[in-house]
Every structure is written in structure tokens, then in C-alpha cells.
Structure 1
């Protein structure tokens, strides 16, 4: 078992500041570029779990980089280069304070809300009589606010976004257009791999007055996938779907009495649990990307990242 990278404190050329997110450490270079390091930290229920997951950062970074390249014709995105398997460098954008969540199927938190009697999510009305994991006639957009550290994201409607001035009507129209087009492309790529892209989230920002897609895209941390094979049969029998996402981590936590609520304790993450989560991430990569995952184990990971990024910035 290799060591997981859970903390970084680099000092890159031109570095102005660093922001440590739940999973990514983001370095500001001269207020022009961002160096985003995908660490091996893992979060669930907005809580960073105590153990890192080996190769998770590499998995997330490489999936996101491939999908950013595969969707660059749909909308501009922030990526400039991936100088290291765990790093993407991109243009600095001023982010919209909302996440665009798009759902093709009724599951996860939307199903939990629906089951409790909710029939409207983020201003989108849902019909009676739907079942768990049922496909919507058309994908729906259910945005959330971007939470401050330690707070939970909150659902928000299009009307509320416009009322609060979080985006102009013209900007929001473009955000919706990009969101649906990206989801369509992601779904088409997934279908070719025998997968269903169930739901995902996109983050957008502005650079020189233009809207850019930012952050990660179509990764198992930001998206949920079902296996296409057996979907109908399981759905008709009311059985759980076989899925590729971080949901298995949430389920393990819930089974052990943890949902991120006050007073709850994260269950012990034994080496066996950590290894099993790492194995699942490699499985996710190979299924989503359709290629064998090549583990990069170049001794001192911090030294490797520092050299690769510094060489790139000094070019």
C-alpha cells in the first residue's frame, strides 16, 4: 500500500496564496493561473475523512483532464495543462457562487426528498408516482449554493439565483445551455463504455468577461454512474442499481452510523477499508475512461509534483 498524499504546502514561482479545499489544494500564481493539486483526501457529507485514499487524486485529476479535453468544443474551460498526474494548471476565473447540478434520474438526495413527499426541487416540479432510479423525461437542473467551509451546500432555484443577483439572466441562460450540452456529451461517452451518467455537477466562472467551465468534470466524486447492463431489470424489480460513484463510501458511512451530523463519529477506516476504496477508484477510472490505470509511484510524490509544476511555470 503506498502512502496517500493528504497535505501539500508548496511555494511555486509567482505564488500569491493557497486555498485548501476538501479534496484539492489550489495555488494562485500571479493572480493569473491556478495550480490545482488533486490530493488523496476524501470527503463525504461535507466532512474530510481521517484517512487518505492512495491513487484517488491521480484518478480524479486524470478523469477530469480527459473530459475537459473531450468537451472543449462545447464551452471554454479553464485547463491549460496537466504537468503532473495529480495536477491541472488553468486560467484563474471568478467563480459563480452556485453549482449547476444536472440529474437524468431520480436518485440519491433527490430520491430521499421525493420519498419524504417533496414534489418540487429547486423550482422544478416533479410528478407523482415516480420510483427510485427512474429516468426523467428530460434531464433537470437543480442548482445549489457553494457553501463556505464547514457549511452544507443548499438547494436554490433559478428564480432565487436571479433575484439574489448571483448571475444575470443572460449568464444563467448560458450556464443552463452549457450544463445540458455537457451532460449530453458526458452521457454519450458513458453509453459507449456501457455506463449511464445519472447525475453530475458543473462549476463555472468568468475570465476576461467570458464564461468558462472550471474545476473537475465527470469524475466519480462529482458524478454518479450506473452500469447499463441490468439497469432495466433491477429497476423493474425495485432493486438497487450497480453504480460507479462515491455513493459506496457514503453507504459504508451510513451503515456505520455516520451522516456528518453533530456528535456523530467517523467509523474507523481500517487498512482493509482504505484499500477497498482505493481499488474501487481504480475500477471507476478504468470503466469511465475505458483505459487501464497506470499507477504513478515516483518515490517522493511531493518532490515530483514540485519539480513538474515548477518546470511548467518556468517555461
Structure 2
């Protein structure tokens, strides 16, 4: 049950520190050091227990896909000095997340089921069922909240409010769809379907960069390709690799992140099950064997490896 709940380092030249839902971010003049902790969030709330190896899974999947898509979009990643750490360019983030959906699942399905046919300004046809493939991938952006819930927003509203300029937003859309297409191809090679995902971008010296993580279980949803068609035909749930199973467990236990609701207690057995599901996703998505970085003093290892990277 050895897991990273949080870090509190102080490095030479460090300018600031920010604790996100699952990442601890150390800022320097021109670099960011992102520590993928083992915290887990759902419904924009950090849950009570950290999940062993979750941060390593996220960090290494993200690095895998950032390297595999660097020919499509410039990205922030410079080095991975530790299984839980990425070092990259310090960009100015755009305050929107680009959510790309190829199938009607998760939040979009819940909106559709409630009767909405316009999700983030994108019209959806009548007659769709949960997990149906959409006629074509759609972008349903959200605002990026530092605290609390991210909010759905339309392309038109982003431009009307001047959150992103028209030209830059068009570039973000093009980049997002190209990344989704590459992610779809790579998923298919592993017998998976990339259902939906989100991308974040930043700007540095007039260049747009892909930042943060991509195609991880925290930012994406995958179905197994085998059995997809027959499950849809029979109206059965899809076998999926994502953290949707955590959300479903929370809903079953009376929690959806709403005011007054209490996060349910997580047993050791449930924490181990989540950890195993994350490792399964790593191996299935990348096609590589997961090597557990199981060191007794993880924080000391982190601090040492980050320090070496900053000195190099």
C-alpha cells in the first residue's frame, strides 16, 4: 500500500508550487516539473485514498504517447527522470480543455439521456444508444477550473468571450482531431477503441504546445474492440479500460460530487483492485510489461531524481 499522497519539496531556483487534483507541479524560470502522485479524483473531487502505482502508470503512458505524437504537434516534454516525474517546457496554458468524443459515453451520454441533443454546442442525432459510435468525432470543450468543477462550454461561447482567439482555437481543434486519429490508430493496434479523451495546450514564444498528459486512463476512455459490436447489438455494457468504474462505484455509494455528499470510504481490497486495473490499462494500451517501481522511500527517490535532472 506504498503510495505517494503528496510531495513538499523545495529545489534551488524554484519559483512556485501548485498542487492539482493528482499532480504536484514545481515551476522554474523556463521549466515545469510535474510529479504524478498516486492521488485519484472523480467528479472533480480528490478521493480519500491514494492508489499504489497509479502515478507511475499515468506518467509513463503520457510519456509514451507524447513521444509517439511529437511529429503531429509540438509538446512540452523534455525528460522523464523518474517513473513518476516529467520535466518539460513552461508554457502559458489555455484555459480550456479540448474533449474529443468518438462514441456516446460517460458525461455526454448522461447529458443525452436527460434529453439534450446539443452538447457543448455540438448537435447530436436522435436515436443514439449508450456507447454508440458517433457519425464523426466531435469536440466538446470545457473550461479549465483550478478549483471545483470544469464546466461545459461551446466553441461559439469561447470565441464570444475572447477566451481563445479564432485562429488559435482553429489550430487547437485541428491538433486535437489529429491527435485523436493517431490515438485511435494506436489503440486499434492493441485491440482497443479510443472512446473519448481530453487534450490541454499551452503557448510559448508564439508556438502552441501540447501539455500535460495524453491518452491515459485519467484523461481517456477505452473499450475492448473484441465484443464491442455484439455487446451493442444486445444492449450490454461495454468492457472498458478507464476510471469510469471508479465513478460508477461512487455513484452506487451515493456520491456524485454534489454539495452535501460524503466521499465513501475505500477499503484496502478496493484500493488494490483500482491499482490492478490501472496496471492492466498500462499494459493493454502500450503493449509493454509494467515494471513496478516498488521502493520503500519513494519521496527520497523522487527528490533525488528531480534534483539530478535539474542539475543536468
TM range (shorter): over 0.9
Q: Does 1:256 align with 2:246?
A: no
- Cα distance in structure 2, aligned partners of 1:191 and 1:13: 44
Q: What TM-score do you get using the length of structure 2 for normalisation? A: 0.99
Q: Distance in 1 between matches of 2:224 and 2:115?
A: 28
Separation of aligned partners in 2, 1:192 and 1:148: 35
Shift of 1:267: 1.3
Which residue in the other structure is 2:192 paired with? 195
Give a deviation string over 1:120-158, Cα, whole Å, max 9, x none.
111111111111111111100000001131x21111111
**Aligned to 2:62, which of 55, 64, 69?**
64
| Shift in Å, 1:310 | 0.7
Query: Hey, what does 1:109 align to over in structure 2?
Result: 107
1:268 Cα shift? Answer: 1.3
TM-score by length of 1: 0.98
Q: CA RMSD in A?
A: 0.7
2:268 is the counterpart of 1:271: yes
1: CA distance, partners of 2:12 / 2:296 = 23
Counterpart in 2 of 1:54?
Answer: 52
The 5-angstrom pairing of residues 1-315 of structure 1 reads: 1=1, 3-30=2-29, 32-149=30-147, 151-315=148-312
Shift of 1:14: 1.1
Contact 2:20/2:146 (8 A) holds in 1: no
Q: Are the counterparts in 2 of residues 13 and 314 from structure 1 also a CA contact under 8 Å?
A: no
Which ranges in structure 1 are unaligned for 5 or more consecutive residues?
A: none
Per-residue deviation, residues 6-27 of structure 1 (Å, max 9, x unmatched): 1100112211110000000000
Q: CA deviation at 1:298?
A: 2.5
SS at 1:241's partner residue? coil
Count of residue correspondences: 312
| Separation in structure 2 between the aligned mates of residue 313 and residue 301 of structure 1, nearest angstrom | 18
Deviations 1:293-315, CA, capped at 9 Å, x for gaps:
00012231111111111111111
For 2:110 and 2:127, locate their aligned partners in 1 and report how far apart those are by CA, in whole Å. Answer: 14
**Cα separation, 1, equivalents of 2:60 and 2:123:** 36
CA distance in 2 between counterparts of 1:155 and 1:263 reads: 22
CA separation in 2, counterparts of 1:294 and 1:242?
25
Q: Partners of 1:258 and 1:29 in 2: how far apart?
A: 38
Distance of 1:154 and 1:40 partners within structure 2: 25
Whether the 8 Å contact between 1:13 and 1:29 is mirrored in structure 2 is no
* Cα displacement (A) at 1:116: 1.1
Query: Could you tell which deviates more after superposition, 68-77 or 158-167?
Result: 158-167
Rounded to whole Å, the distance in 1 between the matches of 2:77 and 2:123 is 36
Q: Would you say the 8 A contact 2:91–2:202 is kept in 1?
A: yes
Q: Secondary structure at the match of 1:175?
A: helix
Q: Which moved more, 1:5-14 or 1:227-236?
A: 5-14
